[in-house]
Chains A and B, each alone.
Chain A
Amino acid sequence: MKRVLTSSAALMMLAAAPAFPQQKATIEHVPGIEFSSVKNFLKLPPGEYLGESVAVATNSKGHVFVYHRSANTRLFEFDQNGNFIKEIGAGYYGFEFAHSVRVDKDDNIWTVDEGTNMVTKFSPDGKVLMVLGRRPPAVQGAVAFPGPQNGNAPAQKYIFCRPTDVGWDPQGNIFVSDGYCNNRVVKYDKNGRFLAQAGSEKPGKALGEFNLPHGMQVDGQGNVWVADRSNIRYQVLDNNLKPIREITNLGVGWTVCISAGPHQYAFLSNSNPNGNQPGSWDITGEIYKAELDGTVLGRFGHPGKLAPGFQVVHMMDCRNPNEIVVGEIESWRVQKLILQPTSTKAAGAAQ
């Protein structure tokens, strides 16, 4: 309890200061994890390009799905060696501005689109199985820019406002982080029926409130990890979305990944900010590897225009905790990183 209180006090101080687009992590003495970036991992057919590669995920066969912002937002599938297989969802109604792609335990592919406000479940062969949320009807014309500046409308059970991520617990319940103009996490049953939410349309700083929940994953116990980006923290919620704890010493919470298997690890990214302000490369851009109890095992990565540098890591796949696939915004790139396995020696505690 004392630790939480201390963290909360620190957070209040942070909140009182001007809003920094970048934040140095306060944790110290974290050992570096050796890693290398696989050269030219993804091999695109001639004439095909990735745009902002904001989302990446693998399935059980190791196939890589990249959901990226091109002229039209597109979803590409590559095999485990990075060879292009096919495009899924060309021209699909739910694609406009990519934010997340995740693959569930049955290899269904889920996309989260913050342009259409839609979350879509595709079968492994690319057929639409379920949609959550609704695209604003075109017939209503250009909609007002959503967000606090225009007054956040009350969050609705089945309508999103720039949703950011999706995950599932072992029972198949669906969790959606929502998002840039709502500030909540929503839980649905496996058939898409609303069960609960934490947070609301309003941003907030208390535990269980959010200010831009930007990335989210669910661990094997059904706990929900949320990258609470503008609050510069992570929150862990239980399966009923009651807050368990916050982590405030790992910088800006951009995105989170939970590895597969019986021993799960959390990967947490203090991504360098968009725009690359002078000085930002020196204090941000690293990814942390931690035990689910918050023990930080190591860190890796540094900003840079050229691989293996990171240019705003937006999403990580960590099915294999020693082979991380990262999607970056500003380099329009996906990298596959081979990590040196970590020892079990604790390096520090996430607070």
Chain B
Amino acid sequence: MALLAGLAVLVCSPAVILVSGCIMDGDELRLYLSPVLLENRTSFASWSLLPQTPSLRSVVELLLDSPEFFHMFWNSIAITGGILLGQLLVGAPAAWGFARYRFPLRGPLFTLYLILMLMPFQVTMLSSYLALDRMRLNDTLWAVILPGAFSTFPVFIMYRFFRAIPEAIIESARLDARNAFQIFWHIGVPLGSAGIVSALVLGFLESWNLIEQPMAFLKNKTLWPLSLYLPNIGLSDAGPAFAGAVLTLAPAFLVFLSGRDHLEQGIVASAVKE
């Protein structure tokens, strides 16, 4: 128990440091961070969980004097929302198809989905760039949304839940002269909502923290998401950086809380490989 508590404290310490940093005075932040952020590094950084001179100046500066932060926030909302909507519209039917139907090359196709899911971004970056460039989508938000919307990971999550629906329910729906879409919409989606929600939660957490795709496909700074807000943090903007990090963390935290139950189910489902 003590070990678990200690590990929990260790895991939570970065978040605690973030919160304490955003209410810390600028001079105090410079005092703690200058050994790390100055060019001539002489020692290690230090920290104090309780600020000696608490100040909301960094928060106020971020909320009222940094319109670019909010611009990037709404860019992140747009990107994340687009990706999740795309995953819902594309991934859910794909997962239903893999789960409930038998068609030629189903197996190899699903295997291909798994392989694509396992590939890191760097492997597909060049091919994605070339394809997006051919479609004239580079330097637009669609360059980040479309590859995320057609991601294979949510298909895999939802597939497991759609597979768990009893065949009898489907049969009875067929007997009721329901067509395939109606069966999917009225039976598959409600009964597989847990998987859908868990896929959406995981998708949110992934797309909210995208860095490589925006850096690779978005040259126009007006399209950058929040994850690229402060790529170079110096001593002068350490306070707003901490405040911005806390605000960036908040939506992900709230989404996690809202979908925690379904998320646990989704993690269990993703752990079982077929």
> Do A and B share a complex?
no
Q: Show the binding face of B for A, using Cβ within 8 Å.
A: none
Q: Show the binding face of A for B, using Cβ within 8 Å.
A: none
